[in-house]
Amino acid sequence: MNNKKNIIPFFKEKSLILIVALFLILSGCAVPFETTDTKNPGESEVIFGYTPPLNFTTRADLGVTGYTDIGVGLEVCGHLSNDPVLCAYVTGKQKILTFGKDLHYNILISGAYGTVATDLNPENIPYYHYTLLLGMEDAINGFLFGIGVLQDPRFSWKLMHEEFSKETYIHSVMGVETKKLLFQIQTVHKIKDSGEYISCGFGIKL
């Protein structure tokens, strides 16, 4: 009996390691690194993020009204073509509704618009997303879920033709955060053709 009790936690631990390893191997483009609330007027927040295998993100947001944030972001990533790809964008977030006492619930709309700079994107196909977010937070931790529309030419790179194409996707975002750390998962669903992508990222808030 004791051996069976020891075997079950062992397999649970191995399964968790396998799941994390698969996330690291299968992750693709950078996650958006959204947060559960907006900033107070004049307050700022900088996020440094990493999405495996080769995506690095810097994002800075500034509180404007307490319900509205504006910001900028830059992503640097390696690509299947072995050429580095830059994605620069402006961001905005609007809080629509907040309620709750000990646990705050926030409904927000987040958006970003920018460009993907690479020789593989001669048509200058833009990057953008518009996402409806639900944030839940207490004094320390937070949970985020969102769904929206995404256009990111990096998801449509054609291996055989070595070029991007203009496609729109449905994407969802789910994540947890503490005062300093973020863990976020993004799934992307192709509308025209069947296909799913998943990305998993880790971030630090300053």
| pLDDT tens track for 169-187 | 999 999 999 989 999 999 9
Dist. CA 17–CA 1, nearest whole Å: 25
Give which of 199, 111, 200, 190 is closest to 156, Cα–Cα. Answer: 190
| pLDDT tens track for 51-62 | 987 889 999 999
> pLDDT at residue 134 above 50?
yes
The pLDDT, as a whole number, for residue 25 is 45
Helices (H) and strands (E) in the chain, counts: 1, 10
Q: Nearest-5° angle of CA 139, CA 95, CA 46?
A: 65
Dist. CA 178–CA 110, nearest whole Å: 20
The pLDDT, as a whole number, for residue 24 is 45
The pLDDT, as a whole number, for residue 160 is 43
Amino acid 55 reads N
The pLDDT, as a whole number, for residue 61 is 97
Q: Which residue has the higher pLDDT, 190 or 45?
A: 45
> pLDDT at residue 156 above 80?
no
**What is the CB neighbour count within 10 angstroms for residue 117?**
12
Cα-based torsion angle of the residue sequence 71, 199, 53, 181 in order, rounded to the nearest 10 degrees: 60
Dist. CA 183–CA 203, nearest whole Å: 6
154 DSSP 8-state letter: G
The pLDDT, as a whole number, for residue 135 is 95
